[in-house]
């Protein structure tokens, strides 16, 4: 009897928490709207009047039910409001997160992909291509000795060390031998291995040698593709969008948050969009350092890449929306990371609204992921 009451109480509390949390987060986002207006809109490039921008942000928040952090990055002021419902915005926004967590992105399985060590071993066990695993180190380990030893097991005396639970490329260190000395490179700064510090568990992997065509655009970083996928209710993996990232300024990582350039990729043929952008929202039609023109550039081995992410997504029916970070080598595509909550805003800023594809809109509606009336109306119209 007591156990029945206990389990019933736990179930009630869990249900109450699931109901209350989105509204609480939504209230906090409401309080943050002035910050979004002042700091998240790039006024150097926004051509709309301050009064119109204020009205636009309120429209997005109350009518489309999402925090308007995508307004500036997606340059929504340049298009008619009728197109805005096709932007799903951030996957971590209050109502979006609630709906996604019900079926598509269950919170209890997030650790499978958020933990890079666990994810690496899972992918390897499934026969998915991943970088060579060299071990893990903790701050209390004699990690410098371990790194020296593991470096000897690499083909080019190069490895990468990244936080097991890190995001956005932060804390990633490239370790390599230069003229007989082992150095660690963090945020563009070189230091002898003896001066290297770590503050959390790190995974060690052999540095991937990227395809020469990718290195032509920018050679100092391994330039990756973010491919976002959804496993439909019928068990078929579809591509929601593709984002290419290229490093610059001698950086060894390509993440946008670390200074990289992002641009969309046409999923049908692997060709880059003609224009990319960075976090300062500066637009580029070519790489500013190498001069490689983006328009017409095709990602090598594209069909193999798409086949890989679809096959990988189908292995994970327990988590149906993922963001794959893929590097391209001469031997084929390699999974660098899998992101359980990929940055949908950057994706849509680069290749347009993901719900503009009729099938994606239909599948989101089937899963109950649409959070506002205008988007649901578009989904009903697409079906009819």
Q: Structural domain boundaries of the chain?
A: 14-104+374-383, 110-114+122-128+210-352, 133-206
- Cα separation of 83 and 15, whole Å? 35
Average pLDDT score, the chain: 93
The per-residue pLDDT for 11 is 59
User: In the prediction, which pLDDT does 14 show?
Assistant: 58
pLDDT in tens, 32-67: 999 999 999 999 999 999 999 999 999 999 999 999
The answer to whether the CB of 278 falls within 8 A of the CB of 255 is no
So what's the pLDDT on residue 178? 87
The confidence score (pLDDT) of residue 319 equals 98
- Contact predicate 277/284, CB 8 Å: yes
Q: In what order do the strands lie in the sheet with 181-186?
A: 133-137, 202-206, 158-163, 173-178, 181-186, 189-192
CB 142 within 8 A of CB 148: no
Local structure of residue 45 (DSSP, 8 states): T
pLDDT, tens digit, 9 for 90 and up, residues 120-134: 999 999 999 999 999
pTM: 0.92
Q: What is the pLDDT of residue 63?
A: 97
pLDDT at 68 over 80: yes
Beta bridge partners of 324: 227, 338
* pLDDT tens-digit readout, 185-243: 887 788 999 999 999 999 999 999 999 999 999 999 999 999 999 999 999 999 999 99
Mean pLDDT of 170-193: 89
110-114+122-128+210-352: CATH topology: D-amino Acid Aminotransferase; Chain A, domain 1 (3.30.470)
Identify the bridge partners of residue 272 per DSSP, sorted by sequence position. 265
pLDDT confidence of residue 2: 57
For 135-165, give one letter per residue: b (16+ CB within 10 A) or e.
bbbeeeeebbebbeebbeebeeeebbbbbbe
- What average pLDDT does this structure show over 143-147? 94
pLDDT confidence tier of residue 180, bands split at 50, 70 and 90: confident
Residue 78 and residue 53 in contact, taking contact as beta carbons nearer than 8 Å: no
SS3 percent helix, strand, coil of the chain, rounded to 5, is 40, 20, 40
* Residue 15 clears pLDDT 60, i.e. is over it: no
């Amino acid at each position: 009897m007591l156990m029945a009451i206990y389990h019933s109480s736990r179930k009630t509390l869990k249900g109450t928490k699931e109901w209350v949390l989105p509204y609480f987060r939504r209230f906090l986002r409401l309080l943050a709207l002035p910050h979004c207006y002042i700091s998240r809109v790039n006024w150097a490039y926004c051509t709309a009047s301050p009064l119109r921008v204020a009205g636009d942000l309120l429209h997005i928040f109350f009518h489309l039910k999402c925090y308007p952090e995508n307004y500036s990055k997606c340059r929504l002021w340049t298009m008619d409001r009728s197109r805005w419902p096709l932007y799903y915005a951030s996957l971590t926004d209050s109502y979006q997160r609630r709906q996604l967590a019900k079926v598509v992105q269950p919170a209890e399985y997030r650790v499978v992909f958020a933990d890079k060590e666990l994810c690496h071993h899972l992918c390897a066990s499934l026969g998915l291509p991943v970088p060579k695993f060299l071990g893990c180190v903790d701050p209390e380990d004699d990690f410098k000795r371990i790194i020296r030893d593991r470096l000897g097991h690499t083909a080019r005396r190069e490895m990468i060390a990244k936080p097991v639970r890190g995001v956005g490329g932060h804390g990633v260190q490239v370790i390599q031998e230069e003229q007989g000395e082992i150095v660690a490179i963090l945020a563009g700064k070189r230091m002898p291995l003896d001066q290297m510090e770590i503050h959390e568990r790190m995974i060690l992997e052999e540095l991937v040698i990227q395809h020469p065509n990718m290195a032509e655009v920018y050679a100092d970083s391994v330039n990756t593709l973010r491919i976002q996928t959804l496993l439909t209710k019928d068990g078929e993996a579809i591509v929601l969008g593709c984002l290419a990232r290229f490093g610059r300024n001698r950086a060894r990582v390509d993440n946008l948050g670390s200074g990289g350039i992002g641009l969309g990729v046409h999923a049908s043929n692997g060709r880059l969009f003609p224009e990319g952008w960075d976090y300062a929202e500066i637009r580029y039609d070519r790489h500013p350092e190498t001069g490689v023109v983006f328009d017409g550039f095709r990602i090598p081995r594209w069909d193999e890449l798409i086949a890989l992410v679809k096959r990988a997504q189908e292995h994970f029916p327990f988590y149906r929306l993922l963001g794959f970070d893929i590097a391209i080598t001469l031997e084929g595509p390699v999974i660098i990371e899998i992101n359980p909550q990929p940055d949908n805003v950057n994706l849509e800023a680069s290749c347009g609204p993901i719900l503009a594809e009729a099938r994606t809109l239909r599948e989101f509606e089937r899963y109950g992921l649409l959070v506002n009336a205008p988007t649901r109306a578009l989904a009903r119209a697409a079906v009819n």
